[in-house]
Structures are given as structure tokens and as C-alpha cells.
Structure 1
Amino acid sequence: MENLFFNHGKDKLLWETEDKILLAISGGVDSMVLLRLMEKLALKETIFLVVAHVNHKLRQESDEEEAYLRAYCKRKGIPFYSIQWQQATSFGMEEAARNFRYNFFQEVMEQTACNKLMTAHHGDDQAETLIMKLARGGSLNSHIGIQVRQPFSNGELIRPLLQFSKEDIRKWAAEQSLVFFEDQTNEDTHVQRNRIRKWVVPELKKENARLLAHAQQFSQQLEWAEALISEQMEKEFQTHVKKQAESWQIEGDWLMALPENQQYFFLSYFFKKSLSELQVGAKEEQLLQLLRLLKKEKAQWQVAFSNEWFFKKSYQQFSLEKNKQVTDEHHVLHYDEGVYLNDREWIGILKNVELDKVPAELEQIGWSTFRQDFPKDLAKEFFLRRRRDGERLHLTKNLTKKVSRYFIDNKVMNAKRATAWVLTDSKNNIYGLLPFTLSYLSIMEETDKIHYVLLYKYRE
């Protein structure tokens, strides 16, 4: 085992000369074997070791184990750092303890300038992890097992024992007469990992003695596949996704033309990139729901990923955007004046000769324009407000159409409908639906000598 460990680490470049390595040592047989192997390595190579230990205070023996490790490291001249976990909880204990440990390891790495952290995960741990993840379900990425190496803190997290079984480790510990401590909580079958360790993995080993090797190979293949897919999807993301202030826009024709398998992997990567910024998660069920919706011919739909963020289809456009709450605001407007509705919208009813009164900034790139000739003397004042249910727009003198129907016929996206302005007078006669159209009531008569222009400037 000793030679295999050294040769494997050298071949995989798990350590290099002058490395300063932090060893996560619990006191169990796995970590004590790792400690002894690394001590032997340090005699051959110019490598510096530091030990970190977390006393979880969950067993009476915890203090004894900490004291033994402290004395051991002092005797060996190895810097020793320990911490006690005082926040034990009955809910989510395993995850909470893990987070506590790795936060502590990161602190020690930064304090001691270690460039690598090593843990004693082995081949049985790998098989147990893969089975647990398979039982829980999830995406390809979430099924990847324990990685041999990955970035961590200011360096790397290395697991040099993954090629060895628990049996290999116990056998070598006996040969070396190592002192170690048994954790009796590992016998508690209320814990899922313990049930898999005691009842599932042994039976699978009986089916195939190479189970652990196959588990390690499978995890590696998943890791490689995920890296390959992510590399390709990043190219597609950069080409077909446009990031805006509070949304991501996807080219609809391109997304719809993809086969289902590519749609799945692109959307999975898309949400990994976008939602991670928002600290919002995308569940596998939501991805599958989107695939089903993409097959349908429905013009508009949306799927909520949180109370604020929605993935939407509006005709041939797809977007992930923040849900905008539109208030019941209204504004008053008179002839010969222009007003800002907000920092993104401005409107005015001006004479043609007065268009130089339009603020210069509204002529810059990024502002869109709705401009229509507008008759004089329609009303003393106008009101701009949001539309109301059942309102109708005059198309001709005798023909009206519901505003909602107008939106449908003209394929106006839901987000645009919600932010549209209705231009009315005090009697609620509708003169315009901005920025889309003016009603028949706004048609200028040929006898009008003073020409006005309704000018609406806006930016997305």
C-alpha cells in the first residue's frame, strides 16, 4: 500500500516539492493512516505538514481523541490546530458539521499559508456517495462523486486515498500498529450513509469484487462529461444569451431548433450560470417542465424559480427576468409640455416647431421613440395610467376592440402589456395605447392648421 500511495501521488501530481499540506485528521483509522503515510512521504520529499482537528463534542471520547492528537503532533514536531464545535443541532447535523469543518480548514489554510488540504476519503466512501446521490436523484453534475482534487480556499483539496478500500486501510493500520479511535456513531443506522455502508455496499461487493474501482471510474467519467458539456454550453451561452440589467434574454429561434437533449443541457447550464448569481436554485423537475412546455405551441407561459424570478416565453422570445410589480400610478399631461414619467420614460404633446424642447439626452442611443401626429383641442388635460379590465379601443368610428384582444392579435408580450400606458381624458375616452397605437379618436382633421405631435420616448 505504501508504494502504491507514493507512486499514485507522484503520477497524479498530488504533491510537489515545497508543498505545505494541511491534513484533516479526525483520529479514526482512515485519517491516522493518511497521517502516517504523509509522515513517511515528508521524510523522502521536502514537504511540510500541518494537522487540523475538529472536536465535534458529540461523544464522551471526543476530548480524549483531541488530547491524543495534540500530544502526538507535539512529539512529531507537526503544527496542530483544533477547534470545538459548540453548535450541535438535531436537524441537519451532518451538513452543519461538514460546513463547520471546512470553514475551519479554510481558516487554518489561510493562517498557515498551506496550499493543499488533504482528507482521508477512500474507495468505500466513493461508492457510498454515488449510491446516496443516485437515491436522491438530481442532475448529471449532482451525481458526480468525490473528486480526487478540486479548488479549495487558496489552493486545492486532495483525496489521495480514493484508490484504496476500507479493508486495505485497516489491514495497513494493523501492520503498522497504528493507534486510532473508533467512532461508534458510524453504527447508527438512522443515518442514511451508515445504512448504505452496512447493508448495501457489502452486498454489491459480493456481486462484483471490483465495485470500488468501477465506482471511481464512473465518478471520473461523470466529472469529465460534465466538464466537456460545460465547455460547449459556455460557448452557446456567450453566443445566444444577452445579459441585461434585470434579465437574461435567449435567442428563441435557436433554442426551439435544438434537439431535446441539447435543450436540456443548455438550460441546465443557463440556470447554473444565471441563478447562481441570484442564489436561487433550479430543480430537476423545473427543467423537465420547461422541456415539456417547449414542445407545446402555446404563445406565452412562465415558470417561477422564486417569488421574484420567472422564466418566460413570449412568442418567439425566452427570458429569465424579475417580476415587475406595476403600481396604479397616473400622470397628468397638457398640450405644449413634456414630462418624465420615470427615469426610463418621457412623453410630450408639442407643436412641430417645438420639438427642440425635447431633452437632449433622449436623443442618445438606447432610447426608442413612438411618434404620431396629434390633433389640437381634444381635451384640456390628459391622463396617463395603466389599462383596466374590459377597456375598449376605437379602431374606427363605429368599431371598437378590447385592449386585451388588441394585445393578443398583435402578439404583444405579457411584460409589455403590463407596462403599457393608456392615454385618456377626464371622461375616460381612450386616445392612445402607448407605445403601440393611437385610437380613432386621435385622428387629425384635414382642417387642422396647428399640428401637434405626441412624442413618447422610452428605453428598455
Structure 2
Amino acid sequence: MFQDFNQILQEHNLLKKDNHILLAVSGGVDSIVLFHLMQNIPETKRPKLSVAHVNHQLRPEADREEQFVKQLASRYRVPFYSFIWEKAAHPDSGIEEAARNIRYSFFEQLMKQNKMNVLMTAHHQDDQVETILMKLTRGSTLAQLMGIAFSQSFSEGELVRPLLGFSKQMLYDLAKEQQWEFIEDSTNFELGYMRNRFRNEIIPLLRNENQQFDQHVIQFASDLEDLLEVSKTSIETAFNKVVRKKQDSWQIDRLKFSNLSAATQRMVLKTLLDHLYKNEKDLYKSNYIELLQEWILNGEVNTQLDLQNDFIAMKGYESICFSKQGPETSSIDNEYFVLDAVGQWVQLSEYEKIGLFPFDSADRKEWNRDSLLMEEGKFQLPLTIRHRQAGDRMRYAGLKGSKKIKDIFIDEKVPVKQRNQAWLVEDSLGTILWLISYRKMNLFTTKETDKLIYVLKYKKDEY
């Protein structure tokens, strides 16, 4: 095993003298074997080593473990760092995840302070098998089913796990053969933890069915990694063909998406969800891919799906928009503004304003889409500028009777987000005079009149 271990380090360029490796040592057999294997490397080839230990204060023997690791490091003249996680700081639930976060935060802090470039942990083959089965049971992405990676970026260097190719039994056998002392973690046999149930009950049953069970799981993960690597290019090509990234959203072209095969559609959606949830604490739900596929192909236009972690998907006529839900998309804003005098502007937003002014018939520029001409007596001040509300109706030029604002938007194929952001103007009698940018009441005739004429101007700065 010594030779195999050294070969692994050489293949991954870990035997450089300028490396400074931080060994995570708990005192259990796994990390103790890792420590001694690193010490066994000839001094001329051995990188600089340091040891880190976290005393979680979760077991009666926690203090004894800390002293044991400290003495071991001292015996070999290896710098030793420890952190005590006081009981008062323990959470009421999620203790495993919290403990892991504490450990790696401590490791990262040490690496930055001491210019260490490699963190080495003692994860082994049994950990790999347990992890794959647990993720399969919980429901995970295909990429996650590849299990624990040999190496990954961490802090300002990398995290490596050189024992992944060795079973737990191999580590026990080597420790016994070399007479290396270690402390057995008593909580490893408590069935209150999911990993322990897999380790002590479920996996032993599967090994009884097939002695090669562990190797088959590892081979499955390896084959899956190869398959994902081979399919990556074709999936990325399809994804880039139908999906566009905007500043704060992702958009799928409906027509191009519908022309893909069903399997490719699902992989495109999976890739998109992976992007959306990349930095999220919680993974998206496993049924999202099939749910979104059915909705995109057969769901009604101008509908919305609320996804986990405040993401939303809005379906328009030509595209589907995915974004993080915020104040402007979560619901229709109830904000309103009052315009109660001629000759004034009212600021609607940072880049929008509206004002009421006497009409200059010589200025033909005022006859445009962003203005409304109104005769005296055909409206009543004050005017209220607001967003739509349920049941809103209006009359406009060319229409007999009135029409729901909602139906106007449907006829115009206006996306849901733009509907919620559109402004409408109503007078003091509650009559909707103008659905800005879409419909206007006919409040002005071109016939000669001695009545005063006003122009309501809407201005929007491009940004």
C-alpha cells in the first residue's frame, strides 16, 4: 500500500517540495493512516506538512482525541493547529452539516494565514460507496452520482483525497500491521445518523448479495463520469442553440426548444436548472425537469411557475423567462401616484415620469404614442397613475362597450412581467383613461372647439 499511495501522489504532482499540505486529522483510523503514510515519504521528497484538528465537543472522548493528535504531531515535529467548537454554539438541528461547515471554515482560515496550498483529507473507498448510495436515495443530479472527487478547488489551493482508492478494511489492516494507534469514534455505530445506517446495516446486506458490490458501485460512478463527458459537447451545443443568458435572467426560445428531441429537451432543462441553482444552498426538486417540459410544450401562454428558492418561470408567446423572484416580479405592485395640477411632472420611477400640460396645437410632436390629448370636461382631476388590478376595464377608440385590461394584454401578447409593470391612468371618477403604451380613450375631437385642450405626457428614459 505504501508504494501504491506514493504512486498516486506522484501522478497528481503532490510530492513537490514547495507544497505546504494541511492534513485534516481527527484521530480515527482513516486520518491516522493518512498521517503515517505521509510521514513515510522520504524526507528529501516529502512536502511541508501541518496538522489540523477540530474538537467538536460532541463526544466524551473529544478532549482525549485532541490531545492524542496533538502529541502525535509533536512526536513527528509537525505544526499542530486545533479549534474547539464550544457546545453553546451547537445548533438545535442539522448538527452534521454545521460541524462540517465549522471544519472547513477552520481549514480555509489556516490555509490563508499560513500560505498552505493543499488540504488533504482521509476519505476512502467506503466513504465513496456510502456517498453515492445516499445521494441516490435522497435524489440527486447525475453529476452528483459520480460521488466524491479526488480533487477540487479549495480556498486558494486545492482539496485532495488520496485514499479514495483504498477500502476501510485496508486501512484497518495497515494500521494493525504497523501498530499505529488510533481512537475509534463511538458515534460511528449510532444509527441516528443516515450515513451510519448505510454503513452498518444497508451496505453489509448488499455485500452479502455480491462480494463485488463496492467495486460495482465505483465502476458505475466511473462509467457515468465517462458518459457525461462524452455527451457534454452535444448537450452544450443544444443548450446554446435554444437558451440565451441575459443580465438577470435566462430565456428559452419556445420554437427552437420544441424542435429538439424529448431527451435533448430534458437535458437542456437540466443544464439550465444546474446554472440557476449553482450557488443555491438547496438543490432543485427532482420532478422539475418533467414538469417544466410538459408546461413549456402544452401549458397555457402567459402563465407562471414558482420554483424552489424564489425562482420563477414565465411563459410568453415566443420565449420562457427564468429569473430570481424580486419585488418587480413577485406580484403586481400596489404603488400609485397622484397628478392633481396642470403644469407639473410626477416621477413614477427612476426613469419614468408623467405630466399634464396645456396643449400647443402647433407642436405636432405632442401627437404621439406617449401622449394623450384630453378636452376640458371629459376628465376629472386628480388623476391616479397605478398598475392594473383585478377586474379593471376600459373603453377606447374603436371599441363598442368596455374591455378587461387582462384581455387587452392577452390580445397584444404582452408577457406577464410587462403586464405587471404597465401603468394606467384613471380620473377621480374611476374611469380608466389610458393604458400607457397600449390603449387610449378618445377624449379629443379634431373639430374646432372653444374648450381647453390638455396633453398628458409620458416619458421613459432609455437605460
> Does TM, normalized by the shorter one, top 0.5?
yes
Partner of 2:129: 127
Matches within 5 A, 1:90-239: 91-223=93-225, 236=239
The percent of aligned pairs where both chains have the same amino acid is 33
Q: Displacement of 1:374 after TM fit?
A: 3.1
Q: Displacement of 1:40 after TM fit?
A: 0.9
Q: After superposing the two structures, state which structure 1 stretch, 13-22 or 125-134, moved more.
A: 13-22
Amino acid corresponding to residue 78 of structure 1 in structure 2: V
Q: Distance in 2 between matches of 1:56 and 1:339?
A: 60
Partner of 1:330: 337
Check conservation: 2:396, 2:439, Cα contact below 8 A: no
Give the gaps of 5 or more residues in structure 1: 358-368
Partner of 1:282: 284
Relative distance call for 1:49 and 1:385 in structure 2 (3 A) is closer
Partner of 1:243: 246
Partner of 2:314: 312
Partner of 1:57: 57
Q: Displacement of 1:35 after TM fit?
A: 0.7
Check conservation: 2:282, 2:309, Cα contact below 8 A: no
The alignment's TM-score, normalised by the length of structure 2, stands at 0.85
- Partner of 2:425, secondary structure, is strand
Q: Displacement of 1:419 after TM fit?
A: 2.5
Q: Distance in 1 between matches of 2:256 and 2:311?
A: 23
Q: Distance in 2 between matches of 1:333 and 1:80?
A: 74
Partner of 1:374: 373
Q: After superposing the two structures, state which structure 1 stretch, 446-455 or 335-344, moved more.
A: 446-455
Q: Distance in 2 between matches of 1:11 and 1:387?
A: 65
Q: After superposing the two structures, state which structure 1 stretch, 306-315 or 224-233, moved more.
A: 224-233
Q: Distance in 2 between matches of 1:29 and 1:277?
A: 34
Amino acid corresponding to residue 270 of structure 1 in structure 2: L
Partner of 1:351: 360
Q: Distance in 2 between matches of 1:81 and 1:44?
A: 24
Q: Displacement of 1:185 after TM fit?
A: 1.1
Check conservation: 2:30, 2:171, Cα contact below 8 A: yes
Amino acid corresponding to residue 186 of structure 2 in structure 1: Q
- Partner of 2:334, secondary structure, is coil
1:77 and 2:77 matched: yes
Amino acid corresponding to residue 77 of structure 2 in structure 1: G
Partner of 2:413: 411
Q: Distance in 2 between matches of 1:133 and 1:397?
A: 60
Relative distance call for 1:227 and 1:85 in structure 2 (3 A) is farther
Partner of 2:41: 41
- Partner of 2:99, secondary structure, is helix
Q: Displacement of 1:276 after TM fit?
A: 4.6
Amino acid corresponding to residue 77 of structure 1 in structure 2: R
Amino acid corresponding to residue 49 of structure 2 in structure 1: L
Relative distance call for 1:222 and 1:84 in structure 2 (3 A) is farther
Check conservation: 1:370, 1:455, Cα contact below 8 A: no
Q: Distance in 2 between matches of 1:43 and 1:192?
A: 41
Check conservation: 2:334, 2:386, Cα contact below 8 A: no
Give the gaps of 5 or more residues in structure 2: none
The alignment's TM-score, normalised by the length of structure 1, stands at 0.85
Q: Distance in 2 between matches of 1:76 and 1:238?
A: 58
2:297 to 295, 298, 306: 295
Q: Displacement of 1:120 after TM fit?
A: 0.9
Q: After superposing the two structures, state which structure 1 stretch, 267-276 or 35-44, moved more.
A: 267-276
Partner of 1:386: 387
- Partner of 2:175, secondary structure, is helix
Check conservation: 1:330, 1:386, Cα contact below 8 A: no
Q: Displacement of 1:11 after TM fit?
A: 2.3
The aligned length equals 448
Q: Distance in 1 between matches of 2:108 and 2:222?
A: 25
Amino acid corresponding to residue 246 of structure 2 in structure 1: K
Check conservation: 1:23, 1:51, Cα contact below 8 A: yes
Partner of 1:365: none
Q: After superposing the two structures, state which structure 1 stretch, 31-40 or 395-404, moved more.
A: 395-404
